[in-house]
């Protein structure tokens, strides 16, 4: 029976080659799109799940509560790890890790030559790090790592790059001028689907600040491995007692205020536990992440897109199958007269659907395999089709699911025809079937309009963030990194040389760079005459930064080389408002500094107010910012960054001149630079990727819709061949016939448009755009463009068949078959 059903199905499909091709192509493109999206989604949910006991590993993160806002941090005071493990029996292991971006490592090769490498990120760890995270050890012994002091563990990639085929164990690697570490182990390269990002791990013992007691400064990532059966919510509820016991005393010593006064002023610390496997997709926009995270909302959107595309593909199948009902009517009537039962006919049509689905899925796999390299470039992932037994079962499930989903309704419809009506030639297709077909077409257009609106909104939001004024001039600013490696005096000489270059307008030194949130640190001030203590962000800069970056001074003046600015500060507008200072110029901000002799209160004078500028991200509101001068930290200090404003059309010449000057002053130091505008755009890489993915799959969804629409319009036109002939004989014009045939589809587009707009508006306006403090609105022109686009696509799709029918000779149309 099955064999016969398959034979009949194959004959039927080959008999209608155009119909079969369109159906297979629509299914293949739709399913291939779904496969790519599913691979991407699986990858997003797979982050850090390769660790053993990953379900028991948590990161302790922080919501820092200020009097009028909150900020979330991935790093916390490092001393909490030790006291938490001592206090709470639920914690099996605890470890801390600090990050060190843009580090220069040095080692001596066999010829005793110093070789330097730039590392984008290294981290620190302790002896418990490898007890929690079971990275694959290729060389070395994980049991004794970091027990001897200054040790370093390198990845396999770094080992090959530094040492080639040599055994790296025991080799010395230097960080900076003084820190030396011995290679103790080599681990496998970190998988891309991990929130970790580093090329080496160094022992915490090499960094004295991690050995000092600290319960207030945000300094390290803190991870716990909980004992089996532990409820993390119960443990999380106990953390406030640690804050009361350890942080309160340090705050009181440093600020001279009681813990109660401090909290009553609106300050607070809420520590919470993040499951390891949720760090990537549920970041709550934490500051100081080790690497850019994903966004669960973007994943939800892509899941919806996958279902919508699959829905379109199945709708095409159902529409074309039911549309061909009149062509199959005589076949059904004859088979029923010959004794076929309805279940037998249903099995026959389901066999055709499953066979067609199988061919479509096979072609989809071919398309997906071909498209994966391009998709990987787009998403910056390393996705692959998992050819395995489980994957084969999944493919079989897809074939059956799509075949049954798409073929069940047509099978019910086709098998229900009455042979008496069919054999008399009275069957013309039911009005109910027409309504169902029209409803499915409306559904396709509804999806297409939603996707187009979403694509346009994402595109416009990305363009808005790239072109909105940030409050400073980001264009033509070259950022030279790692100024610390120069030494203070050489760095000042370097900046002076840059200012004298004909290609450079201005140059200045800074510890922080806009968009690099880790370079802005928190600092607490108490306005003179106020009882409130405010924690603000601090940006440490040298003279000339405001002129180089184009910061606008609204009141007062900026830092100057003619004055000692060690006790002067600049405030942004938000800081002035939050502190409640009516006349900021000349007002005092009191800072409590902890010195070996005890707490010392230092008075800073406000000399200027800077116009608010976006120094972190457009996702967040502008927060209070204090600009301090490098002179506040002593005269013998350099800076991490050198900003150089390049004159127009002088970029390449400026880069070559600046690099030559760098090498002339410090030939042993590597020259590393970036452009400020490009660095700022990198903050929104995740949203940009989402936008590109959304655009591509929106186009594919519309393409699949058009394939089905083309075939459906051809069928409907064929049913009205005689009507068209009569109308032409009676004087109807070609344009009139085309308008008549396009009218029904136009109505469907307008209905779909009316249904799609509210859904698309709610999803984008009330959900996706809420992730941004600075954002566009879903305006009328976006909605109109989407509707007009779909209407134009529909007209172009059906016009070919309409024009062909309208131009046909009416004599041929009126001939009896």
Return the minimum-mean-pLDDT range out of 154-158, 436-440, 578-582.
436-440
pLDDT at 124 over 70: yes
- Own/partner pairs for 49-53, CB < 8 Å, 24+ apart? 49/193, 49/277, 50/191, 50/193, 50/194, 51/133, 51/134, 51/276, 52/134, 53/225
Q: Hey, what are 524's tokens?
A: 């607490």
pLDDT-based confidence at residue 22 (cuts at 50, 70, 90): confident
Provide the strand spans (E) within 376-423: none
Taking only the tens place, the pLDDT of each residue in 696-720 is 887 887 787 777 677 666 666 666 6
Residue 523, strand partner residues: 536
Domain boundary among 682, 706, 728: 682
SS (H, E, C) 31-69: HHHHHHHHHHHHHHHCCCCCCCCHHHEEEEEEEEECCCC
Measured CA distances, 403 to 19, 264, 317, 327, 355 (Å): 16, 65, 9, 21, 8
pLDDT-based confidence at residue 270 (cuts at 50, 70, 90): very high
pLDDT at 308 over 60: yes
pLDDT (average), residues 540-549: 89
Taking only the tens place, the pLDDT of each residue in 380-402 is 888 888 878 878 888 888 888 87
> For residues 191 and 815, which has the higher predicted lDDT (pLDDT)?
191
Measured CA distances, 530 to 37, 525, 534, 714 (Å): 55, 10, 10, 79
Residue 187 CB partners (closer than 8 Å, separation 6+):
135, 136, 137, 138, 153, 154, 155, 156
Contact 199, 121 (CB under 8 A): yes
CA dihedral for 466, 694, 299, 391, sign (positive or negative) = negative
Expressed in angstroms, the distance from the first to the final Cα of the chain is: 35
CA dihedral for 736, 738, 739, 744, sign (positive or negative) = positive
Write down the residue that tokens 């008075």 correspond to.
603
Domain assignment of residue 766, yes or no: no
pLDDT at 320 over 70: no
- Number of neighbouring beta carbons within 10 Å of residue 747: 12
Q: Is 120 left (phi over 0), alpha (psi -120 to 50) or beta?
A: alpha
Task: Among 196-205, 593-602, 635-644, 784-793, name the most confident range.
Answer: 196-205
Domain assignment of residue 130, yes or no: yes
Residue 231 CB partners (closer than 8 Å, separation 6+):
none
Return the minimum-mean-pLDDT range out of 148-152, 238-242, 582-586.
148-152
Contact 180, 174 (CB under 8 A): yes
- Number of neighbouring beta carbons within 10 Å of residue 156: 16
Domain assignment of residue 259, yes or no: yes
pLDDT at 57 over 80: yes
Residue 27 CB partners (closer than 8 Å, separation 6+):
313, 316, 317, 356, 357, 360, 361, 363, 364, 402, 406
What distance in Å separates the CA atoms of residue 571 and residue 806, rounded to the nearest whole number?
A: 73
pLDDT at 191 over 70: yes
| Percent with pLDDT over 70 in the chain | 82
Residue 617 CB partners (closer than 8 Å, separation 6+):
515, 517, 683
| Percent with pLDDT over 90 in the chain | 21
Residue 343 CB partners (closer than 8 Å, separation 6+):
none
What distance in Å separates the CA atoms of residue 721 and residue 703, rounded to the nearest whole number?
A: 27
Domain assignment of residue 230, yes or no: yes
Kindly report whether the global pTM for this prediction surpasses the value 0.85.
no
What distance in Å separates the CA atoms of residue 739 and residue 679, rounded to the nearest whole number?
A: 53
Taking only the tens place, the pLDDT of each residue in 732-774 is 676 677 777 677 778 888 888 899 899 989 888 888 788 787 8
Q: What is the pLDDT of residue 554?
A: 92
Q: What is the pLDDT of residue 323?
A: 60
Domain assignment of residue 128, yes or no: yes
Q: Hey, what are 779's tokens?
A: 């305006």
Domain assignment of residue 153, yes or no: yes
Q: What is the pLDDT of residue 340?
A: 64
Return the minimum-mean-pLDDT range out of 7-16, 368-377, 574-583.
7-16
What is the chain's mean pLDDT, rounded? 81
Contact 270, 62 (CB under 8 A): yes
Domain assignment of residue 316, yes or no: no
The DSSP call for residue 647 is P
What distance in Å separates the CA atoms of residue 756 and residue 778, rounded to the nearest whole number?
A: 14
Domain boundary among 655, 682, 709: 682
What three-state secondary structure class fits 261? helix
Q: What is the pLDDT of residue 19?
A: 67
What distance in Å separates the CA atoms of residue 211 and residue 208, rounded to the nearest whole number?
A: 5
Query: Cα angle vertex 53, ends 48, 56, to 5°?
Result: 90
Contact 8, 348 (CB under 8 A): yes
Domain assignment of residue 335, yes or no: no
The DSSP call for residue 560 is -
What three-state secondary structure class fits 583? coil
What distance in Å separates the CA atoms of residue 326 and residue 417, rounded to the nearest whole number?
A: 10
Taking only the tens place, the pLDDT of each residue in 508-525 is 888 888 887 767 777 778
Q: Hey, what are 349's tokens?
A: 């049509």
- Nearest one of 675, 677, 799, 808 to 738, comparing CA atoms: 799
Q: Is 471 left (phi over 0), alpha (psi -120 to 50) or beta?
A: left
Q: 465 — phi, psi (to 5°)?
A: -70, -30
Q: Which residue range forms the structural domain that includes residue 595? A: 477-682
Burial class (CB in 10 A: 0-12, 13-18, 19+), 80: buried
Domain boundary among 261, 278, 295: 278
pLDDT at 237 over 70: yes
Return the minimum-mean-pLDDT range out of 428-432, 594-598, 656-660, 699-703.
428-432
What three-state secondary structure class fits 514? coil
Helix and strand numbers (H, E) in the chain are: 24, 23
What does the DSSP assignment read for 200-258?
EEEEGGG-GGGTS--SSS--BEEEEEEPTT--HHHHHHHHHHHIIIIIHHHHHHHHSS-
Taking only the tens place, the pLDDT of each residue in 464-506 is 887 888 888 888 999 988 776 667 777 888 888 889 999 999 9
What distance in Å separates the CA atoms of residue 279 and residue 294, rounded to the nearest whole number?
A: 9
Return the minimum-mean-pLDDT range out of 251-260, 368-377, 486-495, 721-730.
721-730
Tell me the HSE value of 733 on the side-chain side, using a 13 A CA sphere. Answer: 3
Q: How many structural domains is the chain composed of?
A: 2
């Amino acid at each position: 029976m099955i064999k016969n059903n398959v034979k009949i199905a194959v004959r039927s499909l080959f008999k209608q080659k155009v119909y079969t091709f369109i159906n297979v192509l629509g299914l293949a493109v739709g399913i291939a799109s779904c496969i790519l999206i599913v691979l991407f989604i699986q990858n997003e949910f797979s982050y850090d799940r390769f660790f053993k006991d990953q379900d028991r590993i948590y990161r302790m993160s922080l919501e820092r509560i200020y009097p009028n806002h909150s900020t979330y941090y991935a790093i916390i005071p490092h001393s909490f790890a030790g006291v938490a493990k001592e206090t709470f029996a639920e914690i099996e292991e605890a470890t801390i890790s600090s990050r060190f971006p843009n580090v220069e490592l040095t080692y001596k090769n066999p010829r005793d030559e110093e070789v330097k490498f730039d590392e984008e990120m290294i981290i620190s760890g302790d002896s418990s790090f490898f007890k929690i995270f079971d990275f694959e050890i290729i060389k070395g012994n994980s049991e004794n790592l970091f027990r001897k002091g200054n040790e370093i563990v390198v990845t396999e990639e770094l080992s090959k790059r530094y040492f080639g085929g040599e055994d790296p164990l025991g080799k010395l690697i230097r960080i900076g001028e003084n820190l030396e570490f011995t290679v103790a182990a080599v681990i496998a390269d970190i998988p891309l689907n991990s929130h970790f990002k580093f090329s080496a791990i160094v022992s915490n013992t090499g960094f004295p600040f991690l050995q000092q007691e600290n319960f207030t400064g945000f300094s390290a990532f803190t991870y716990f491995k909980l004992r089996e059966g532990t409820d993390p919510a119960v443990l999380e509820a106990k953390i406030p007692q640690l804050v009361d016991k350890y942080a309160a005393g340090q705050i009181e010593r440093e600020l001279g205020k009681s813990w109660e006064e401090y909290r009553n002023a609106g300050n607070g610390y809420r520590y919470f536990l993040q499951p390891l496997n949720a760090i990537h997709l549920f970041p709550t926009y934490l500051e100081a992440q080790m690497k850019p995270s994903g966004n669960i909302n973007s994943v939800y959107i892509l899941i919806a897109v996958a279902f919508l595309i699959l829905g379109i593909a199945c709708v095409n199948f159902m529409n074309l199958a039911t549309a061909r009902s009149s062509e199959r009517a005589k076949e059904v009537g004859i088979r029923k007269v010959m004794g076929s039962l309805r279940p037998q006919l249903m099995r026959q049509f389901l066999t055709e659907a499953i066979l067609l689905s199988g061919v479509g899925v096979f072609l989809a796999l071919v398309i997906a395999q071909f498209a994966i390299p391009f998709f990987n470039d787009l998403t910056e992932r390393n996705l692959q089709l998992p050819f395995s037994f489980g994957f084969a079962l999944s493919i079989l499930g897809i074939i059956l699911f799509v075949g049954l989903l798409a073929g069940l309704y047509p099978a019910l419809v086709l098998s229900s025809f009455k042979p008496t009506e069919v054999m008399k030639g009275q069957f013309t297709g039911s009005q109910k079937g027409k309504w169902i077909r029209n409803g499915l077409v409306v559904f396709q257009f509804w999806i297409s309009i939603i996707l187009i609106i979403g694509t346009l909104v994402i595109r416009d939001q990305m363009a808005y963030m790239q072109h909105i004024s940030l409050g400073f001039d980001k264009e033509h600013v070259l950022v030279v990194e790692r100024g610390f490696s120069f030494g203070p005096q050489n760095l000042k000489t370097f900046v002076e040389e840059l200012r004298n270059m004909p290609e450079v307008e201005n140059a200045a030194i800074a510890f922080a760079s806009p968009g690099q949130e880790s370079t802005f640190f928190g600092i607490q001030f108490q306005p003179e005459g106020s009882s409130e203590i405010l924690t603000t962000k601090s940006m440490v800069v040298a003279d000339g930064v405001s002129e180089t970056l184009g910061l606008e001074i609204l009141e007062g003046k900026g830092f100057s080389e003619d004055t000692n600015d060690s006790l002067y500060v600049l405030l942004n507008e938000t800081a002035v408002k939050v502190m409640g200072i009516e006349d900021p110029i000349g007002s005092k901000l009191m800072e409590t500094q902890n010195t070996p002799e005890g707490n010392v209160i230092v008075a800073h004078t406000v000399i200027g107010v800077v116009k608010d500028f976006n120094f972190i991200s457009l996702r967040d509101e502008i927060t209070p910012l204090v600009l301090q001068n490098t002179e506040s930290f002593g005269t013998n200090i350099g800076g991490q960054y050198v900003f150089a404003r390049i004159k127009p059309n002088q970029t390449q010449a400026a880069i070559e001149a600046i690099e030559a000057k760098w090498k002339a002053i410090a030939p042993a130091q590597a020259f590393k630079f970036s452009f400020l505008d490009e660095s700022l755009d990198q903050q929104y890489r995740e949203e940009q990727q989402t936008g590109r993915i959304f655009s591509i799959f929106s186009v594919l969804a519309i393409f699949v819709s058009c394939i089905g629409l083309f075939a459906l319009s051809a069928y409907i036109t064929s049913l009205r061949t005689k009507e068209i002939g009569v109308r032409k004989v009676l004087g109807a014009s070609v344009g009139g016939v085309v308008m008549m045939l396009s009218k029904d589809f136009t109505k469907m587009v307008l209905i779909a448009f009316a249904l799609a707009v509210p859904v698309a508006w709610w999803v984008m306006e009330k959900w996706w755009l809420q992730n941004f403090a600075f954002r566009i609105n879903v305006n009328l022109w976006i909605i109109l463009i989407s509707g007009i686009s779909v209407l134009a696509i529909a007209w172009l799709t059906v016009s070919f068949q309409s024009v062909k029918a309208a131009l046909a000779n009416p004599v041929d149309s009126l001939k009896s078959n």
